[in-house]
């Protein structure tokens, strides 16, 4: 890419990002975070089927999903930072905004555990992979118990 093209790209990305950040409506933020969460669930379910033996273990597929999950986790928090998104078609509890540090702690924990899963998935120790999958699942559940309405 030449210098002009890369400068233009950086400018365009900057515009797209600031537009998304400043113009985001609460209902868009809710849809965004629910979409990211749904994608996390999608990947967890697919890995879970392999962990439980409902589907044959496929190392490349599992590793790809673990990496995707780690990336999705990093994207979720943004959807909870838009003002007014505590109200609407959402199962998010108001405690998220009164205990934001604790909530962020859950996001950080998931980042750490999902990165470890992606790491473990590079290897061939299935017991370690299964155990780490369980650790990730615990973090999902812990946060849902504290911060998501049934
Ligand atoms: C830091 C807290 C937190 C963590 C960690 C977390 N979630 Fe969530 N999750 C939420 C909250 C809050 C909602 C409700 C969002 C809303 O309705 O606005 C939610 C919603 C969901 C939903 C429903 C999405 C929809 O369609 O409305 C799924 C599926 C989900 N999470 C899966 C997962 C999985 C799988 C993990 C672990 C890999 C995970 N979550 C980790 C807080 C968390």
The reply to whether 12 falls in a domain is no
The reply to whether 35 falls in a domain is yes
At 24 the pLDDT is 84
Q: Whose CA is nearest to atom 35 of ligand 1?
A: 41
Number of separate helices (H) and strands (E) present in the chain: 6, 0
The reply to whether 6 falls in a domain is no
At 143 the pLDDT is 98
Rounded distance from Cα 77 to ligand 1 centre (Å):
10
The reply to whether 1 falls in a domain is no
The reply to whether 51 falls in a domain is yes
Which SS3 state, helix, strand or coil, does residue 92 take?
strand
Choosing from 91, 115, 144 the residue with most ligand 1 atoms within 8 A of its CB, the one to mutate for a pocket test is: 144
**Closest atom of ligand 1 to CA, residue 148:** 12
Domain that holds residue 131: 24-147
Mean pLDDT per 10-residue segment, the chain (150 residues): 64 59 83 98 98 96 97 95 95 97 97 97 97 98 97
The reply to whether 64 falls in a domain is yes
The pTM for the full model equals 0.87
At 8 the pLDDT is 67
**Closest atom of ligand 1 to CA, residue 38:** 29
Rounded distance from Cα 144 to ligand 1 centre (Å):
6
The reply to whether 15 falls in a domain is no
Rounded distance from Cα 34 to ligand 1 centre (Å):
7
**DSSP character string of 93-116:** -THHHHSHHHHHHHHHHHHHHHHH
Rounded distance from Cα 5 to ligand 1 centre (Å):
38
The reply to whether 4 falls in a domain is no
Q: CA-CA distance, 77 to 55, in Å (whole number)? A: 31
CATH code for the domain in which residue 117 is found: 1.20.120.10
How many domains does the chain divide into? Answer: 1
Rounded distance from Cα 51 to ligand 1 centre (Å):
21
């Amino acid at each position: 890419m030449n210098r002009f093209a890369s400068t233009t790209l950086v400018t365009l990305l900057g515009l797209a990002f600031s537009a998304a950040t400043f113009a985001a409506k609460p209902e868009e933020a809710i849809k965004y975070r629910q979409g990211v969460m749904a994608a996390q669930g999608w990947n967890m379910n697919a890995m879970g089927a392999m962990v439980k033996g409902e589907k044959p273990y496929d190392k490349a597929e599992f590793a790809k999903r673990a990496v995707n999950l780690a990336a999705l986790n990093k994207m979720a928090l943004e959807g909870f930072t838009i003002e007014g998104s505590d109200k609407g078609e959402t199962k998010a509890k108001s405690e998220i905004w009164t205990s934001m540090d604790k909530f962020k702690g859950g996001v950080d924990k998931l980042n750490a555990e999902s990165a470890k899963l992606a790491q473990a998935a590079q290897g061939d120790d299935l017991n370690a992979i299964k155990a780490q999958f369980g650790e990730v699942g615990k973090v999902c559940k812990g946060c849902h118990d504290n911060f998501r309405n049934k």
